[in-house]
Structure 1
């Protein structure tokens, strides 16, 4: 992945267990690498991590990351999860635009992307975390 020159940058932890007792994780400055014996090891960061956290990490409906984030033509990233795909920006993603009062920069709005909702500039107007969802 590129070590400290990757989008994750420097490690912040040794290998750690996760609540399900099966998988493992390592924390980095800009995200995590999660491992599960079925899905393997995959990084998660930025908006995709923000949405995954909101849904309950590996114990939520998305399950574990099942693929690496892949940049799409529009600049967004698509990452396979156990039940589908998540979309967003990685590393310094849109989740960094949250204000301390819980509001998001009004210049960023929501659009529908597959079974998940994500934010893109100038496209709509609802609260980001309430839109993060998956369908199975």
Structure 2
């Protein structure tokens, strides 16, 4: 099993480690596109870290859409996947750290609609 270190390890362990939400690591930690952050892929999700934000996890269909949008180029996650107030949907919020003003965006998922930015 690849080694998991630092803040990414802390997040992974907080989500249950190898038997938890994300599963086993698939590879070692890698740099993000901008060379500022780091990420690590797991069986069922990704943990992305930025020094000004920290480490957050993205998984499931939200991760699939985020990956299709360019991952950290779309934005670094600033939340773990969370439950919507209605109790049915889920979301992650993201911040584009490489864009002036660091705009924030979100990806929402519901069983009826799937995941959409």
Verify same fold: TM over 0.5. yes
Q: How many residues are treated as equivalent by the alignment?
A: 94
2:45 matched to which residue of 1?
Answer: 31
| Residue 47 (structure 1) shift | 1.3
With the length of structure 2 as denominator, give the TM-score of the two structures.
0.69
Decide whether aligned partners of structure 1 residues 75 and 29 sit closer, same or farther in structure 2, where only a CA change above 3 A counts: same
- Bigger Rg over Cα: 1
| Structure 2, unaligned runs of 5 or more | 1-14, 96-103
Asked if structure 2 preserves the Cα contact closer than 8 Å seen for 1:48 and 1:88, the reply is yes
| Structure 1, unaligned runs of 5 or more | 95-108, 111-118, 120-127
1:15 matched to which residue of 2?
Answer: 29
Superposed, 1:1-136 pairs within 5 Å as 1-60=15-74, 63-72=75-84, 73-82=86-95, 83-88=104-109, 110=113, 119=114, 132-133=116-117
- Structure 1 residues 90-110: Cα deviation after superposition (integer angstroms, max 9, x where no partner): xxxx7xxxxxxxxxxxxxx53
In 2: Cα distance, 1:29 partner to 1:15 partner: 14
With the length of structure 1 as denominator, give the TM-score of the two structures.
0.61
- Structure 1 residues 69-126: Cα deviation after superposition (integer angstroms, max 9, x where no partner): 112343322212111322127xxxx7xxxxxxxxxxxxxx53xxxxxxxx2xxxxxxx
Runs of 4+ in 1 over 2 A off after TM superposition: 72-76
RMSD value, Cα = 2.0
After TM superposition, the structure 1 stretch with the greater mean CA deviation from structure 2, 26-35 or 10-19, is 10-19
